[in-house]
Amino acid sequence: MLIINFHPFKNLETNRLLLRRVSTDDVAEVMELRGDKETMKYIPRPLVTNKDEALEHIKMIDDKIESNIGINWAITVKGNPKLIGIIGHYRIQPENHRCEIGYMILKEYWGKGIISDAIDVVLKYGFEDLHMHSIEAVIDPDNVASEKVLLKNNFVKEAHILENELYDGKFWDTVIYSILKRNFNMKLK
C-alpha cells in the first residue's frame, strides 16, 4: 500500500502558472468561485454564500492536507498571487494506487487553456510524487467543457453511471474519465 505524505507542501509550476497552497488570504476568491451558480452548475455541492463558509472551505482543504487524505492547490498566474482556480487530488485510494482529480476556475479564465496547463503538472505530481497507477475525473455528463479538457489531456471515458448521486432532491448521473500512468508517460515522450 502507498504511504501518502503531503509534507512539506510542494508548490507546482508550469511556464505560466504557479500552483500554491490555498490560504485564508484567498477567502474572497474562494467565495467568488464556490458561490457562483454558473461555475457550480455541474458540481452537486451547496453554494458558498458568505465569508465564514468560504473560510470553512479553506479549513477543510487545509485539514485534508494536514491529515494526508487530499491535496489542493490555488491556481495563480505567475507574478500575480490572486487565486483564479483550485485543483487537487481527492478520494485517494492508496490500496488501489488511484485517486480523483478535481478542478474549477473563475469564469473570466474559462477557455484560456489554464486548466489543461494545471492538470498536466498535477498529473505529474500524482504519478511521480504520489506513485499513483491511475487518476480519474468524475464529471456531470452535461459538462461538455470539462469533458473536452479531459480528452485533450489523454483521459479516456471509463463509465457513465446513471443517477448514482442524490443532491438537493435530484439524482445526478456521473461520468468517469481516467488516465493510466503509462499513458501519461507516453504523452511526455
CATH number of the domain encompassing residue 110: 3.40.630.30
Distance of alpha carbon 173 from alpha carbon 162, whole angstroms: 5
* pLDDT reported for residue 140: 96
In a domain, 172, yes or no: yes
**Residue 146 falls inside a structural domain:** yes
Q: Which residues of the chain have pLDDT under 70?
A: 187-189
* 184 domain-assigned: yes
Per-residue pLDDT of 98-120, as tens digits, reads 999 999 999 999 999 999 999 99
pLDDT value, residue 189: 57
- Domain membership of residue 70 (yes or no) is yes
Query: Beta 98-105 vs 134-139: how paired, if at all?
Result: parallel
Domain membership of residue 177 (yes or no) is: yes
pLDDT of res. 185: 81
What is the reported pLDDT for 5? 95
The pair phi, psi for residue 186, each rounded to 5°, is: -65, -35
Determine, yes or no, domain membership for 3.
no
Cis before 8? omega within 30: yes
Q: Which cell is 85 given?
A: 482556480
Q: How far apart are CA 156 and CA 136, in angstroms?
A: 9
Q: Is residue 20 part of a domain?
A: yes
Burial 127-155 (b: 16+ CB within 10 A, else e): beebebebbbbbbbeeeeebbebbeebbb
Predicted pLDDT of residue 188: 62
Question: Does residue 151 sit within a domain?
Answer: yes
The total number of structural domains that make up the chain: 1
Report the predicted TM-score, pTM, of the whole model to 2 decimal places. 0.95
Domain interval for residue 163: 12-188
